[in-house]
Amino acid sequence: MVKKIYLSILIISILALSSAYFIEYFLGYQPCNLCLLERIPYALSIIIILTNLKIKFNDKHTILVLIIIFVVSALLSIYHLGIEQGLIEESFVCSTKDNLNLNKEQLLQELQKMNISCKNVAFTIFGLSLTTYNILLSVIISATLIKIYAKQK
């Protein structure tokens, strides 16, 4: 059963990343910094699951790591949704891309580039932002893994 869950999460993660890259590179919607950060848990889960399928780790430890990853993913997405809804102010994560070590010419060039705001929803499916879908996926995956973890010896 655990292997089926791993494969399901692997497929979901591949689809989530593929969709994000399709929307970005083929449909032309540029992601904000938080959107980019929200991709990391899916990439990590792919690496962990593929590694676990090749080199059999303790399932309880693998499940615990995946729980942590997707709980963090859910929290990050909830924070992002709060910014989208105007409940939380945009932070430095939304407005900077490591501009701390740039000289004034480079900084001016960076400022002239189009910065994508975390509060603007650029792409929706059935009226919901991708952040909302990420919350749903992350919570469902986390809850499923927590249930399985609780049953482990």
**Could you report the per-residue pLDDT of 54-101, keeping only the tens digit for each?**
887 788 899 999 999 999 999 999 999 998 888 888 777 776 555 556
Other Cβ atoms closer than 10 A to 41: 25
From CA 149, how far away is CA 153, in angstroms rounded?
A: 8
2-151 has which fold?
Bromodomain-like (1.20.1550)
CB 95 within 8 A of CB 115: yes
Which tokens sit at 127?
A: 């009226």
- Helices 59-84, 2-25: axis angle to 10 degrees equals 30
CB 63 within 8 A of CB 143: no
Predicted confidence (pLDDT) per residue in 90-148, tens digit: 777 776 555 556 666 766 666 555 567 777 788 778 988 899 999 999 999 999 999 99
| pLDDT interval class at 6 (50, 70, 90) | very high
pTM, to two decimals? 0.83
pLDDT of residue 138: 97
Core vs surface per residue 77-88: b (16+ CB within 10 A) or e:
bbbbbebbeeee
The SS3 assignment for 128 reads: strand
| pLDDT interval class at 16 (50, 70, 90) | very high
pLDDT of residue 121: 81
What are the distances in angstroms from CA 19 to CA 27, 50, 69, 70?
10, 20, 20, 18
Would the pLDDT of 10 be above 80? Answer: yes
